[in-house]
Amino acid sequence: MVNDLARWAGRRLIYQAPHERTQCPACASTRLDVLGVHKLEKAIENRKSALISGCQACGLVFVNPPPSDEDLLARYAPAGEWARHRSEPVEPSPVDHKKAGSGSWPRLFDAVRAEFDVTSPPAGSRVLDFGCGRGKLLDVLQACGWETFGIEPASDAAFQRHHRLIAIPTTPTFDLIVAHHVLEHVAEPLALLKQLAAACQPGAFLLVAVPRLDTLPVHRDYTYVISRVHVTSYTATCLAGLLGRAGFSTVEAPRDEVMIAGGRRTTARLRMLAQRVPHEVPLPVRPLDPARAALRAYARQDTSRAHARRRFPRLSARMIESRRWFRRNIGVRLEHVQRRPNTP
């Protein structure tokens, strides 16, 4: 009750972001903490200061307000920003079927190799890559024997070679689903995970990859984990909890470092393999704590003015908007007066 009153007072007396949500976009909890200030790309109601909110119930960190459905459609539609900045050839790259199961990508499934050999699936096995881009992963999976399906609104590049779906099926269809760097772009990640769960066969696997928030003090790439396009942010604890709420159980703890292109290793990416299960999954306790700890540790390393904005976000947002209002209203008038010619 006291915390709810404090949240109400903060919104009413200090600063309320335009269209600020008071419920978590994942789990609908009202127990939201304010963790930082976020600059909007375009002003809403003459304000450009949004907030970084964190949910005490599920641990999700998100830009508040989240992007609208119209904003997301404009960004990821075939003629949208995402497609315009990616010139993708539609001609398929040849895949050596003899080498399709080699390389580093099968290691993503090492934890379940004894029961699930991704490089040698049973006949009729189906895989969905949600947000498949050019279809490179689908190419190698197809060469291994998978029947391949993709969903990608921003590009047609993959669909000369793979089945295109417009929507996620509502009945159990797939033995494997991949959501590689998708969740950070969507405003309602739990709803998406539940849709993917409904499309899984019993015991199917889901591979998820997102930018990693809990290792922020190590990799220090703040704009990779939270930005104008990465509007939701995840710690390992949060992601495991959201997967559990959707009906998935993680098969192993995520690694501190993961391999990326060129043989490089990074702490900035979180990969998690989970299995569709029929039973309830225990949820983490205090799931927002890792995000709070990571942001505080990162702030202690930061000697810029951004440090203060993270400590007192609503007050900082109010001060930022006050300065913008002054420049927009008073500053322009003063400049106009100074430019007036002197009259005798």
Structural tokens at position 113: 């190799």
pLDDT digits (tens, 9 = 90+) for 127-150: 999 999 999 999 999 999 999 999
Say what the pTM is: 0.87
Polymer length of the chain: 344
Average pLDDT, the chain: 87
pLDDT at 191 over 70: yes
Q: What is the pLDDT of residue 284?
A: 96
Alpha helices, DSSP H, located in 180-265 = 189-198, 216-219, 222-225, 236-246
| pLDDT of res. 2 | 55
Highest mean pLDDT among 8-12, 40-44, 247-251, 295-299: 247-251
H/E stretch holding 249 reads strand 248-250
Could you report the per-residue pLDDT of 25-39, keeping only the tens digit for each? 999 999 999 999 999
- pLDDT score of 72: 75
Confidence band of 200 (pLDDT split at 50, 70, 90): very high
Q: Which pLDDT score is estimated for 329?
A: 79
Higher pLDDT, 194 or 265: 194
CB of 86 closer than 8 Å to CB of 155: yes
Nearest in space to 193 (alpha carbons), one of 182, 203, 142: 182
Per-residue pLDDT band for 97 (boundaries 50, 70, 90) equals low
User: Predicted confidence band at 256 (pLDDT cuts at 50, 70, 90)?
Assistant: confident
Q: pLDDT tens-digit profile of 61-88?
A: 999 998 877 777 777 766 666 555 555 5
| Domains of the chain, earliest start first | 2-54+297-336 (no CATH), 69-282 (3.40.50.150)
